[in-house]
Amino acid sequence: MINILANDGISQSGKDALEKAGFNISTITVAQEQLINHIQTENIAVLLVRSATTVRKDLIDQCPSLKIIGRGGVGMDNIDVEYARSKGLNVINTPAASSSSVAELVFAHLYGGVRFLHESNRNMPLEGDSNFKKLKKAYAKGVELRGKTIGIIGFGRIGRETAKIALGIGMNVLAYDKFLKETKITLNFMGGNSIDFEIKISPLDTLLKKSDFISLHVPAQNQHVIDKKEFELMKNGVGIVNAARGGVINEVELVSALESGKVSFAGLDTFENEPKPEIKLLMHPNISLTPHIGAATNEAQDRIGKELADQISNILK
């Protein structure tokens, strides 16, 4: 019997698929410091993680029973991927499964930002009955997304899903990606209708200067993608969303740009100091906040579970 440990959980559909394929799957969460010992004593062949568990060189070296490391999601910065592969392990992930979920969260932040929902939802419970007219006036200058330009930095799967929603609601799309020159995306509608769009890749400076809203979809980086210089190039009153990775925006410069009015609002799902984001970000009235839940929809977790199960079965059968 092959033993699988889904240390950060797995959807019921994924669990069912693995059990049906004849694997023994455990979904208990083992603390990071006890993980090596647990894998050794339970003879775990497949370790599945999301973003909470890290799989580093020491674990790989001390757990010879491991054959597969699986990441439910896209980014694998919590796994020493190249080292694991050099030791003959299979390292798998599910890059396509959560793209739509992340893109929808970006638009939840964008719609919330342009209509002040993040602020209104904080203040209505406090002052809705005593200061209704004052709040109505404060939140009366909303803007529409239709007809505006969104700049998408990083045009992989999630960037493209974000572009599809933008096109669907009548936005103009600018895209920057250092690995692409142009790309075609297909919008699928109910009833089997579809439309193709050719998207030309813009230089980053052009995107920064022309976008009304900016969304980041790049992997974890060694340096900031958006720093002081990039903020200076942006339109006054730009809205910015980061549902990619903490650290791709310089958070100190973001707060400065919010204070000066250069940035009108920000939506943050990821933070440099997870799981303890800076208090300045958490308390800022012009930041819409979520706790790294981009991929956390029932549909995405279902797709992730099934996709991992398929990959594991193909490797081990």
Does the reported pTM lie above 0.85?
Answer: yes
pLDDT per position as a tens digit, 61-91: 999 999 999 999 888 999 999 999 999 999 9
The reply to whether 99-289 shares the fold of 3-95+298-316 is yes
pLDDT given at position 51: 87
Q: Is 125 left (phi over 0), alpha (psi -120 to 50) or beta?
A: alpha
* Percent over 90 (pLDDT), the chain: 97
pLDDT confidence band for 317 (50 / 70 / 90): confident
The topology under which CATH files domain 99-289 is Rossmann fold (3.40.50)
**Mean pLDDT value across residues 133-146:** 98
The topology under which CATH files domain 3-95+298-316 is Rossmann fold (3.40.50)
pLDDT per position as a tens digit, 213-230: 999 999 989 999 999 999
The catalytic site residues sit at 245, 274, 292
Domain segments of the chain as ranges? 3-95+298-316, 99-289
